[in-house]
Amino acid sequence: MVFIIMILLLGLSQSQGCQPYGIRLFLGHYFSYLRNTQDVIRIVFNTQTECKEQFILEVFDNSSVEKLMISKLSYYETQLLNMTQIYENNDTTHFTYETFIHTFKISLGHINLNSSTSYNYTITSEKNSILSGPYKFDIPMTENEQKILVFGDMDSNWIQNYSKDTFDWLENEVKDDKRYDAILFTGDMAYDLESKNCEQGDYWLRNISVFTKRYPFMAAPGNHDWGNNTYFDFFRANFGSLFLKDYNTDHYLNDFFSFDLGMVHIIQFNPIKAVYQNDIYNITHLIVEQMRNDLILANQNRERVPWIIVYTHYPIYCTVPQNDQCKNNFKYLSAFEDLFVEFKVDLYLSGHVHTYQRNKPYYKNATSKYTQKDNVISQYSYPVQIIEGAGGTDYGTQNQTYPNGPFMEIQNPDHGIGIITIKNSTHLYFQHITVSNNKIIDSIWLERSSQEITSNRDIFEIVMWVLFAILMVITGVSIYFKKNQSKKQKKKLLDDSLIMTVD
């Protein structure tokens, strides 16, 4: 009898250890410049134990009335995050935390974009009688308008309930089946991910699945995400699953990524060493170089993907008193800001300051020339800059209004979220919502129809047309002179003939 009870308890323990938690979606490399058709959407989750080769991902076409299954995936990648091993040679920090991270990659072979862009999925384990789901995801397509959520600086402790209203708002959006193509998270989560033997980060994973199981979660790392050894170990394992290996070194890991989301090209970068002035390995120039190369390609592709958005954790212009970055980030990030102006970036998003703040188009600490009628901004030479750092956190002073700056258009310290809607190739709509009352407190349109955005391809075509025109002019002049010369020769011959006849 005791033996049977022990077997049952062991089975129950094994089942609990293999229960998926922290389910989250990511956009795969199908959306990056790699265009990998085997990596469209990533479904990632954690378990307490390894649970090797137990899980099956079932994907259903959401448009089908009968919910016919179209794919059953049994292959997935498993990664062990062992914080004990990572810090084993650290004299001051010791961890006993470990978690297993499982990643399913959905390919174009598993879905049919000609019939649907919405799918349901479940995670099952027949061995442990586990069923997680059904959940839903959407595939962003260029033919539709894109809607993107933007927020950052949020924890999930709810000790003082500062982020609970944001979670509630997001949970209601999921329940109402609102479609958003992605979440751009502007950094700083859990406060901090590695606190309390990583319990803080683990608790964060379990709570955010309320919305990350529905919307792809594309996070920029913040200074509160980098961990005790400043290598972002917990963040990179759980959220930094996508990166481009160009320029990769031991000290430059996953600090740049870009992807196309329908009509918008989105760039995420991490200039933490520049803004904290501790770039002892001189890696900032690598990120600048990769940013330039990426923006060159993005501008060449602007006819197909007309909008460019950059997001990171760090604002260029802010007004927190006695804050070095608010005073000097326009210097620390000047090489990046130069690129944003040169390649006509439309929108720059950040967090870090726990507020909502929208700035005028600004550059080199000065306002640019732009046209604004009501809430429509056009003919802007510099990107509109927005701080979305009001997700809600127990860390620091809450609901604080900062001094006005010459660049500042509006600020609001209440907890809120930004929503970007890419309407078409010429119009982008941005709104900021306070989550406690679901009220829009700020909105703008960016209008590009009157802007001259000239790509390298455009320049090449212009040069070719100019050369063609010059060639046509030269040909015309040449024909004209030849005709005139022929007429003169005929007249001379006729005159000579007349003179000979008279004589």
Quote the CA–CA distance of 257 and 182 in Å, as a whole number: 15
Q: Is residue 417 part of a domain?
A: yes
Q: Is residue 299 part of a domain?
A: yes
Q: Which of 124, 139, 154 is the last residue of a domain?
A: 139
At a CB cut-off of 8 Å and minimum separation 6, what does 445 contact? 375, 376, 377, 427, 428, 429, 430
- Check whether residue 184 and residue 214 sit in a common domain: yes
- Check whether residue 117 and residue 189 sit in a common domain: no
Quote the CA–CA distance of 288 and 273 in Å, as a whole number: 13
Q: Are 254 and 219 in contact (CB under 8 A)?
A: no
Q: Is residue 459 part of a domain?
A: no
Q: Which of 139, 158, 178 is the last residue of a domain?
A: 139
- Check whether residue 188 and residue 305 sit in a common domain: yes
Q: Which of 103, 121, 139 is the last residue of a domain?
A: 139
> Of 397, 279, 382, which Cα lies nearest the Cα of 337?
382
- Check whether residue 115 and residue 160 sit in a common domain: no
Quote the CA–CA distance of 73 and 52 in Å, as a whole number: 14
- Check whether residue 438 and residue 294 sit in a common domain: yes
Q: Is residue 3 part of a domain?
A: no
**CATH assignment at residue 50:** 2.60.40
Alpha carbon distances (Å) from 313 to 96, 342, 402, 469: 29, 22, 18, 49
**CATH assignment at residue 184:** 3.60.21.10
Q: Is residue 5 part of a domain?
A: no
Total number of domains in the chain: 3
- Check whether residue 196 and residue 112 sit in a common domain: no
- Check whether residue 493 and residue 393 sit in a common domain: no
pLDDT tens, per residue, the chain with 503 residues:
444 434 433 444 557 899 999 999 999 999 999 999 999 999 999 999 999 889 999 999 877 655 567 889 999 999 999 999 999 988 888 999 999 999 999 999 999 888 889 999 999 998 889 999 999 999 998 778 999 999 999 999 878 889 999 999 999 999 999 999 999 999 999 999 999 999 999 999 999 999 999 999 999 999 999 999 999 999 999 997 566 777 778 788 879 999 999 999 999 999 999 999 999 999 999 999 999 999 999 999 999 999 999 999 999 999 999 999 999 999 999 999 999 999 999 999 999 999 999 999 999 998 788 999 999 999 999 999 999 999 999 887 778 899 999 999 999 999 999 999 999 999 999 999 999 999 999 999 999 974 444 444 444 454 454 455 666 656 665 665 565 665 555 555 445 543 444 44
Q: Is residue 321 part of a domain?
A: yes
The alpha carbon of 125 is separated from its chain's Cα centroid by a whole number of angstroms, namely 32
88: phi > 0 → left, psi -120 to 50 → alpha, else beta; which? alpha
- Check whether residue 494 and residue 399 sit in a common domain: no
Q: Is residue 2 part of a domain?
A: no
- Check whether residue 81 and residue 154 sit in a common domain: no
- For residue 380, count CB atoms less than 10 angstroms from its CB and return exposed for 0-12, middle for 13-18, buried for 19 or more: buried
- Check whether residue 186 and residue 295 sit in a common domain: yes
- Check whether residue 121 and residue 148 sit in a common domain: no
- Check whether residue 360 and residue 471 sit in a common domain: no
Q: Is residue 410 part of a domain?
A: yes
Q: Which domain holds residue 198?
A: 140-453
